[in-house]
């Protein structure tokens, strides 16, 4: 198993490509390597991490990496041979739980073979199952809840030192968002996720996130800006803002939405060139926010807005608190106000009670609005959510058939969008070499978020290991489209 993979258990992306594993880099100019801080002493031991799930989980993993490093532990590339392994899990859907259990079983097999001394389970599966994980997996050494991640170093010291009196650590959801500074990042140096809040106050009937992540807790503007400056000092050019509900930012702390004020402060951070907004709920999307995005040189014309469905009847059963009319009014305003806007959304097919006619509404909605990026879930029966008690549950085969029909429709829309880019000059951030030829690089336009969207294959003569492009933002002429992805060449003579 590759170490520290960014495994996306979110809905399928509109594109079928991925940038793959990326190098590890520490973040924060004030953070010295553990060996230096320990006066030249060797590290106390080694550890590996496997992280699953969404970017918010990735930020938690990076925070745990930083804490373990600061405590003198050495990060290694492979779980086999490490003193212990931390598995940061996802539990959003049944499929993600199965994946988490599968990875844990692999790590426990290494332990039984004598290739690691311990396995720690952290994250959403730990929070969801709590001590019940020990009943299912008695060989586990420790379980750490979502809000106990900062105690990972103490936990490792306990079980490595054979102090078994406390094998699990759970803390209640905090009133304020956790501090994510001092991370050891596992994204490319030029890209970082920045978590601006934790938890969610929505009561969507299909979602178990509030149970695992608690109520919405805004991270104060000054703390977010401090983290952004730390990241910029380490070479970050693209900030990807993540939360459970980004447009809700500030309501719990300031009494009103403050996303506009936060973005204004982030735009002033030197070194940050792109700001990408993810997880924007359609409520609390103000005219001021739209105007700011439209006028900004840094906030990208890319909005990730999970809509889940278009039928008013289904939206009501989902308890989304928004209807199709209000959504279309917002979409029209966004399309009219923001030049070159790219909209990403996600939908659920086969929600309990969804009729064929209601699914046809979703198809018509997708044809009408031609979202550039779409991912689709099939409805997952989660026994601890209100939707599990609704009537009209559909067969898995029908849910999957509707997903495939919607994705087939969307494929044509996405391919058409890609072909319309040919001949245009687009800014492209270069993520790294393609691995095919020294002069071919993988990059992304402003329309493409890391790991979930599409790629640009840039051919640039005279480049290679001695003249790398990684981390640069270049004007690129798009010369071809192949499915979802693009091919391009530098728009200027010098790469």
Predicted local distance difference test score (pLDDT) of residue 26: 36
Domain boundaries, the chain: 6-169, 184-419, 425-490
CATH superfamily assigned to domain 184-419: tm_1862 like domain (3.80.30.20)
CATH class assigned to 425-490: mainly beta
Could you tell me which residues are beta bridge partners of residue 457?
A: 442, 487
DSSP-assigned letter for residue 465: T
Contact 43, 34 (CB under 8 A): yes
Task: Please give the pLDDT value at position 215.
Answer: 87
Distance between CA atoms of residues 170 and 149, nearest Å: 9
Residues 6+ positions from 466 with CB-CB distance below 8 Å: none
The pLDDT value recorded for residue 36 is 38
Asked whether the beta carbons of 395 and 441 are under 8 A apart, the reply is no
Task: Please give the backbone phi and psi of residue 433, each rounded to the nearest 5 degrees, phi first.
Answer: -70, 155
Residues 6 or more apart in contact with residue 101 via CB below 8 angstroms: 125
Pairing label, strands 485-490, 456-459: parallel
Predicted pLDDT of residue 164:
58
pLDDT recorded at residue 177: 75
Instruction: Please tell me what DSSP assigns to residue 308.
Output: B
Residue 357 burial (CB count, 10 A): 9
Query: pLDDT tens string for the chain (495 positions)?
Result: 333 332 233 333 334 322 233 333 333 333 333 333 444 455 778 999 999 988 988 999 999 999 999 989 999 989 999 999 999 999 888 888 899 999 999 999 999 999 999 999 998 998 888 888 989 999 998 899 888 888 898 888 877 765 555 556 555 566 567 788 888 998 999 999 999 999 888 989 998 888 888 888 999 999 999 999 999 999 999 999 999 999 999 999 999 999 999 999 999 999 999 999 999 999 999 999 999 999 999 999 999 999 999 999 999 999 999 999 999 999 999 999 999 999 999 999 999 999 999 999 999 999 999 999 999 999 999 888 999 999 999 999 999 999 999 999 999 999 999 999 999 999 999 999 998 899 999 999 999 999 999 999 999 999 988 899 999 999 999 999 999 999 999 997 544
At 72 the three-state DSSP class reads coil
Task: Give dist(CA 471, CA 121) in Å, integer.
Answer: 33
Confidence at residue 28, expressed as pLDDT on a 0 to 100 scale: 36
Q: How distant, in Å, are the alpha carbons of 188, 347, 377, 408, 430 from that of 401?
A: 37, 14, 12, 10, 37
Q: From CA 100, how far away is CA 106, in angstroms rounded?
A: 10
CA distance 211 to 373: 29
What is the spatial distance between Cα 349 and Cα 259, in angstroms, rounded to a whole number? 31
> Helix, strand or coil for residue 219?
coil
Report DSSP letters for 440-460, one per residue: EEEEEETT--TTTS--EEEE-
CATH 3.40.50.12160, applies to 6-169: yes
**Residue reference for tokens 């990875």:** 103
The span from the first CA to the last CA of the chain, in angstroms, equals 36
């Amino acid at each position: 198993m590759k170490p520290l993979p960014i495994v996306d258990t979110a809905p399928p992306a509109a594109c079928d490509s991925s940038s793959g594993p990326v190098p590890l880099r520490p973040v924060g100019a004030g953070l010295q390597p553990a060996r230096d801080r320990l006066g030249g002493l060797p590290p106390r031991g080694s550890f590996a991490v496997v992280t699953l799930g969404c970017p918010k989980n990735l930020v938690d993993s990076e925070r745990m990496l930083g804490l373990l490093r600061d405590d003198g532990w050495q990060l290694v590339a492979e779980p086999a041979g490490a003193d212990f392994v931390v598995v940061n899990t996802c539990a959003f859907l049944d499929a993600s739980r199965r994946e988490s259990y599968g990875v844990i079983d692999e790590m426990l097999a290494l332990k039984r073979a004598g290739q690691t001394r311990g396995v720690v389970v952290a994250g959403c599966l730990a929070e969801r199952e709590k001590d019940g994980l020990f009943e299912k997996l008695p060989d586990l050494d420790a379980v750490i809840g979502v809000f106990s991640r900062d105690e990972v170093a103490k936990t490792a010291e306990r079980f490595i030192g054979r102090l078994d009196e406390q094998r699990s650590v759970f803390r209640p959801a905090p009133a304020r968002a956790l501090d994510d500074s001092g991370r050891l990042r596992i994204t490319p140096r030029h890209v970082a996720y920045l978590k601006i809040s934790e938890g969610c106050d929505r009561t969507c009937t299909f979602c178990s996130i509030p149970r695992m992540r608690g109520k919405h807790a805004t991270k104060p503007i000054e703390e977010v800006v401090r983290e952004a400056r730390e990241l910029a000092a380490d070479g970050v050019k693209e900030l990807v803002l993540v939360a459970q509900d980004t447009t809700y930012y500030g309501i719990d702390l300031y009494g009103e939405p403050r996303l506009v004020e936060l973005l204004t402060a982030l735009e002033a951070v030197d070194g940050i060139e792109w700001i990408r907004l993810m997880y924007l709920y359609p409520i609390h999307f103000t005219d001021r926010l739209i105007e700011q995005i439209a006028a900004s040189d840094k906030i990208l014309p890319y909005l990730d807005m999970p809509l889940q469905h278009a039928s008013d009847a289904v939206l009501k059963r989902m308890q989304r608190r928004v209807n199709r009319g209000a959504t279309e009014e917002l979409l029209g305003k966004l399309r009219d106000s923001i030049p070159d806007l790219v909209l990403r959304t996600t939908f659920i097919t086969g929600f309990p009670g969804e009729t064929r006619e209601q699914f046809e509404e979703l198809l018509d909605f997708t044809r009408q609005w031609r979202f550039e990026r779409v991912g689709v879930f099939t409805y997952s029966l989660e026994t601890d959510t209100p939707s599990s008690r609704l009537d009209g549950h559909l067969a898995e085969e029908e849910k999957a058939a509707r997903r495939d029909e919607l994705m087939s429709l969307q494929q044509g829309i996405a391919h058409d969008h890609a072909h319309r880019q040919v001949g245009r000059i687009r800014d492209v951030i270069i993520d790294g070499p393609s691995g095919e030829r020294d002069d071919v690089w993988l990059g992304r336009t402003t329309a493409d978020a890391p790991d979930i969207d599409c790629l640009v294959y840039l051919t640039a003569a005279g480049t290679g290991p001695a003249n790398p492009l990684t981390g640069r933002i270049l004007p690129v002429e798009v010369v071809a489209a192949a499915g979802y992805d693009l091919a391009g060449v530098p728009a200027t003579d010098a790469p």
